[in-house]
Amino acid sequence: MDALDLLLNRRSASRLTAPAPTGEVRQNIINAGLRAPDHGRYSRWRLYPDRGSGLQRFSELLQAAARHDELDESAVEKAKQAPFSCASDYHGGCSLQ
């Protein structure tokens, strides 16, 4: 399969579930994402994968944001189900607390 065929026939996963990719699989996904077209020529990204207790806290923040925005319960539940998150920044300034 050539690159054009892959791009024309790709499909997005509509429902991701735990467990999130780990190890070499996760690293390959990150490396591929970093090579995506970037017309701003940004290349100094730092990624902060989050799992475990950090993921639980992130889920709680997403739920709180959904409630703050007065979204319906299905949106709140969807926010709760995030199986993996990855924050990033460019040229510093981002931290996960």
pLDDT 10s digits, 2-25: 888 888 888 777 677 777 788 898
- Distance, in Å, from the CA atom of 52 to the CA atom of 54, rounded to the nearest integer, reads 5
Angle, alpha carbons 85-88-78 (nearest 5°): 25
- Compute the half-sphere exposure of residue 18: CA atoms within 13 Å on the CB side of its CA: 11
pLDDT confidence of residue 44: 58
The yes-or-no verdict on residue 92 having pLDDT over 60 is no
Task: Please report whether residue 85 resides in a domain.
Answer: yes
pLDDT confidence of residue 1: 66
pLDDT 10s digits, 56-83: 787 888 888 888 888 888 888 887 776 5
End-to-end alpha carbon distance in the chain: 43
Task: Please report whether residue 14 resides in a domain.
Answer: no
**Domain housing 88:** 45-97
- In the chain, the number of structural domains is 1
pLDDT confidence of residue 48: 62
